[in-house]
A and B are shown apart, each in its own frame.
Chain A
Amino acid sequence: MKAIWLIFKKEILEQFRDRKTIFNALLLPVLMWVGIAFATDRFAGDSSNFSQSDTSLDYKVAVTSAWSKTDQDQFTKMSGIKTYIAKDPAKEVKEGKSNVYIDLDKNTKQMKLYVSDKEPNPVLITQIENYVYKLNQSKLSPKESKNQFKLITSKTQGKENTFLKIYQGFAMFNIIIAMTPLIAGSAIATDAIAGERERGTIRSILSLPFSATTIWSGKWLAVCFYSALSVIISFSIYSGIQPLLKNPTLNISWLKALPIHFHIGLVILLLLYIGMCAALLLFVSTFAKSYKEAQGYYTPVLLVPGGITFYIGFGMQGQETLSHTFFFIPFSNIQSVVYEGAAQSLTFSHLLLAIGSSFVFIVLMIWISASLFKQPKRMLAN
């Protein structure tokens, strides 16, 4: 243990004196997450404008059987919105198939608009109001006020947009914790082994009376330390900047809803994830024959969690639970936990599964890398 501590101490001291490390592990997160925070703020603003102006003809509104084919055609012609007759239109809104439903009473000249209480669409409501106005102004309707159509709006039980809810809780939080350890750790990991090989200092280290696993573990701990520091800085910067934004993009309200033992589990999982990233990066550094080669491998390595984020974030389409397989696969496991957490469907067994698979991955990586590390042909060849 003393040897691991000494290796760790030396790595920390040495890396702390390297401008490249300071930039990658400490300064880059500050610059990057501030930039991303303001960029996502603008993007979120723009996309909300876009969705509110979306009056696509593809949008279908449920109507009662009181609507005739002529009424439906006329509505579509004047409002640009398609309709369909539903046996139980309230159920359509409840299940999220339609955002509103409209009932029509030709005798009383009343048009009753029932709007989802979960996700009211003001643009759609305005369009329907406009339709009634146009209808009353047209030749189809007598000018006397008593014969004109009236629109009565009330609320009905709707369905929450689970995709949006999960996505908001998952996206940025997940990106910060999934990407930062890899970005921050790559420079340190490259320097720790591939760099030492290139500078010829690896021979001094290998001449020490300690096993390859001990030496490798000390270096691994140092990479973990800088990565963890970088995650803390990144998260603090990004969450600290949220109150300054018009459209905050970091939603961690789901964390508050979790019981304490889940929080402990999440912290353990996060630490293991940082360890997992450090182990992978250091494995690459051990495997590569030169500093440059190691750097070349990091782009595909960074794409792994990026691809998983994209797959889970968009591919699951608001599905509230994920299959067990997601929790077995390294890098997918922590992201799946965050996903189910955001969906408020995280189970403790899934959390434990993710912790277990991360631990196994780290042990495996240390074993494989230490086996490579003790091969003199690989380490001492120039």
Chain B
Amino acid sequence: MTDKVIEVSNLEKKFDKTIALKKVDFSVERGEVVGLLGANGAGKSTLLQILSTLIIPSSGEAKVLGKNVQSDPLYVKKHIGLLFGNDTGLYHRLTAYENISYFAEFFGVPQSIYDQRIKDWAERLQLTPHLHKPAGALSKGNHQKTAIIRTLIHDPDIIFFDEPTTGLDISASLSFQDLLKDLKAEGKTIIFSTHIMEEVEALCSQVIILQSGIVSFQGTLTKLYETMQTNNLTEVMRKVIGG
């Protein structure tokens, strides 16, 4: 029996005269890691913002954990983690630790638990020496690491990452990939958008390709390679995007 945690049907989003998403349909099962691929402006961020209840769809329906994102946003927000790579949303006057613990308290995580989680993940992402520095004084990479820990601090069931490795160096990117593998092993459902094809090949069980707001492909990587008659994802994307 399948356990669909994300169900999207006929989803449309218009910004004035611009159509950002058009009749989007897909579903994601529990424990899947889904790569959301597409050119800039294809609608990836819009889709993630609708799924995380930040913006309202123009029509259609999106369900997360069986709850409609429009009618039950608080339930959805409670069970998801959200990270936008280009805009970490950290408070510059608060330290990295305060930024994370502040969100942990919002989600009702006890201090003993969040302190341990912060310690573990900071070590893993090499953030420990910077935990008590103001976020405004951190490098872009450390900013991103802080935001990643903040996203995971309440142990969400579903995680949305929008270009999460933007600004990370190779070492931190690899640490992040290891972290995602562990989350996958724990049974977390992850949707992440990226332009780095190696990440997709290493982590994703499924991919969704968006083209001008339309889902042009959804399925496993194997299926994608068969369809596109190549074993190289970069080549696939070049064909799809037309670069």
Contact = CB atoms under 8 A, between A and B. Distances in A.
B4 to A, nearest CB: 22
Contacts of B98: 13
A376 B56 contact: yes
B74 interface: yes
Contacts of A205: 89
A208 B55 CA distance: 14
Contact of B107 (A200, A204, A209): A209
A191 to B, nearest CB: 10
Contacts of B134: 17
Interface residues of A, number: 23
Contact of A207 (B54, B75, B91, B105): B54
Interface string B52-65: 11111000000000
Interface string A1-30: 001001000100110011000000000000
Contacts of B103: 204, 208
Nearest to B79: A209
Interface in B86-116: 87-94, 98, 102-103, 105-107
A380 B54 contact: yes
B84 interface: yes
A202 B49 CA distance: 13
A209 B78 contact: yes
A43 interface: no
Contacts of B87: 200, 203
Contact of B94 (A14, A199, A200, A207): A14
A6 B89 contact: no
Contacts of B84: 203
A352 interface: no
B82 interface: yes
B77 interface: yes
A41 to B, nearest CB: 39
Nearest to B106: A208
Contacts of A18: 93
Interface in B139-180: 150
A380 B52 CA distance: 13
A211 interface: yes
Interface string A112-151: 0000000000000000000000000000000000000000
A380 B55 contact: yes
A241 interface: no
A14 B55 contact: no
Contact of B74 (A200, A203, A210, A376): A210
A205 B91 CA distance: 11
Contact of A14 (B52, B53, B93): B93
Given A211-B74, A376-B55, A14 B106 contact: no
A256 to B, nearest CB: 43
A203 B55 contact: no
Given A6-B105, A376-B54, A376-B55, A207 B77 contact: yes
A271 interface: no
Interface residues of B, number: 28
Given A14-B91, A201-B91, A206 B105 contact: no
Contacts of A377: 55
B74 A209 contact: yes
Interface in A139-166: none
A73 B178 CA distance: 108
A6 B106 contact: yes
Contacts of A17: 93-94, 134
B40 to A, nearest CB: 15
Nearest to B77: A209
Interface string A204-227: 111111110000000000000000
A16 to B, nearest CB: 9
B113 to A, nearest CB: 17
A353 B55 CA distance: 41
Nearest to A211: B74
Interface in A176-202: 199-202
Contacts of A208: 77, 103, 106
Contact of A204 (B49, B55, B78, B89): B89
B149 to A, nearest CB: 13
A202 B54 CA distance: 11
B107 to A, nearest CB: 7
A211 B94 CA distance: 23
A255 B211 CA distance: 71
A136 B78 CA distance: 98
B78 A203 contact: no
Contacts of A14: 91, 93-94
Contacts of B54: 203, 206-207, 376, 380
A203 B52 CA distance: 11
3 nearest interchain CB pairs?
A204-B89, A209-B77, A209-B78
Interface of B: 49, 52-56, 74-75, 77-78, 82, 84, 87-94, 98, 102-103, 105-107, 134, 150
Interface of A: 3, 6, 10, 13-14, 17-18, 199-211, 376-377, 380
12 contacts: A6-B102, A6-B105, A10-B94, A13-B94, A18-B93, A199-B92, A200-B87, A207-B77, A208-B77, A208-B103, A209-B75, A376-B54
Given A10-B94, A17-B94, A199-B92, 9 more contacts: A3-B106, A17-B93, A18-B93, A204-B90, A206-B54, A209-B78, A209-B106, A376-B54, A376-B55
